[in-house]
Amino acid sequence: MSTDQTETTLRESLMKSPRPGETAIRGFLFICGAISIATTIGILYELGTESFLFFQSEEVSILEFMTDTFWQPQIGRFGIWPLILGTMLISVIAMLVAIPIGLASAIYLSEYASRRVRNFFKPILEILVGIPTVVYGFFALTFMTPLLRDVLGANVVGFFNILSAGIVVGILIVPLVSSLSEDALSAVPDSLRQAAYALGASKFEVSMRVVVPAALSGIAAGIVIAMSRAVGETMVVTLASGASPRNFTLGQDSFFGYILNPFQGAQAMTGYIAITASGDLSYNTIDYNSIFAIGLTLFFMTLGLNALSRRLVNRFRQAYE
């Protein structure tokens, strides 16, 4: 019998040997995956069922829901755009805060910090993840908002405002951006760094022109995931940004003076859900069903961001041997 045949026979005998422990682990992992998928399907089913009851009402239509710029249930106006506007404004401000700070800290921890410094500062940075978001909300309300009103003027910055909520949500997601980006930067092969140093590149040039482009897919995916987290944030926006939707009329209201003004309050989608759900609502009323329609919209927004994250990973991914 040849050597190849011997190796094949040995491999087949090893594969066919009974392994009860591995079979149990495999079954457990399958059950966990099935539970995750079933949970997602169950959430989507519940949101869809209750949303159907909302759109079945004579007071609202899908076209009005997707196109109207007024959200006033008291008078039968159910346009989703004021709530989407508040959510996106807060998320954009949050990303403007989180991306520079998170990416800069990730580059420092990955490229400049010693192992001892990295092991000390990274857990401290990630402690921010464990702080309850309601604490961030009160921090925005009692510290950030008064600070902005003192600096910019109380007549400019409202007591409830988007800027304060956006800054604090940005602080909240900094550890997410930093941790995911640092992992992506650390995964870049050290041979690329050594080759750049051999060509005479400085530490900064190696970091910005070699390591960051090589880790771009992981960094982009981390940023999109962090934005998904910002879109779904509830307590900060509920406490700091206000409880009144910013209704507007295109062509009449000032675009930068009112519609996109970060110094005044606006209600976000999650904030409306939290406030409305905590009230005394009867089942199958239009107000009760509206929170599921908004939740379904938020679900698809987050799904779209996650799909974008996967697309960015596949688009910019670089494989190294």
Asked if residue 233 is part of any domain, the answer here is yes
Distance of CA 151 to the CA centre of its chain: 29
Residues 49 and 98 in one domain: no
Q: 120-124, 250-254, 315-319 — which is least confidently predicted?
A: 315-319
User: Does residue 239 surpass a pLDDT of 80?
Assistant: yes
Residues 13 and 129 in one domain: no
- Stronger pLDDT, 117 or 4, i.e. the higher one: 117
User: Does residue 99 surpass a pLDDT of 80?
Assistant: yes
Last-in-domain residue among 56, 76, 96? 56
Residues 25 and 66 in one domain: no
Q: Supply the pTM of this predicted model.
A: 0.86
Last-in-domain residue among 56, 73, 97? 56
Reported as a single tens digit per residue, the pLDDT across 25-48 is 888 899 999 999 999 899 889 888
Structural domain of 20 = 3-56
Residues 242 and 101 in one domain: yes
Q: Do the beta carbons of residue 296 and residue 45 sit within 8 Å?
A: no
Residues 39 and 172 in one domain: no
Q: Do the beta carbons of residue 91 and residue 298 sit within 8 Å?
A: no
Residues 38 and 144 in one domain: no
Residues 13 and 126 in one domain: no
Number of domains in the chain: 2
What integer pLDDT is reported at residue 96 of this predicted model?
A: 94
Average pLDDT value for residue range 43-61: 85
- Report how far residue 50's alpha carbon sits from residue 273's, in angstroms, rounded to the nearest whole number: 14
Residues 210 and 117 in one domain: yes
- Report how far residue 54's alpha carbon sits from residue 78's, in angstroms, rounded to the nearest whole number: 10
Q: Do the beta carbons of residue 267 and residue 246 sit within 8 Å?
A: yes
Average pLDDT value for residue range 11-25: 67
Reported as a single tens digit per residue, the pLDDT across 244-290 is 888 888 888 888 888 899 999 899 999 888 888 876 667 777 888 88
Q: What is the CATH number of the domain that holds 248?
A: 1.10.3720.10
Residues 48 and 181 in one domain: no
What integer pLDDT is reported at residue 166 of this predicted model?
A: 94
- Report how far residue 173's alpha carbon sits from residue 98's, in angstroms, rounded to the nearest whole number: 6
Average pLDDT value for residue range 183-200: 87
Reported as a single tens digit per residue, the pLDDT across 212-237 is 888 888 888 888 888 888 998 888 99
Helix residue spans in 68-161 (DSSP H):
81-107, 115-130, 133-139, 145-152
Residues 99 and 173 in one domain: yes
- Report how far residue 280's alpha carbon sits from residue 261's, in angstroms, rounded to the nearest whole number: 32
List the one residue out of 287, 232, 256 whose CA is nearest residue 74.
287
- Report how far residue 161's alpha carbon sits from residue 153's, in angstroms, rounded to the nearest whole number: 13
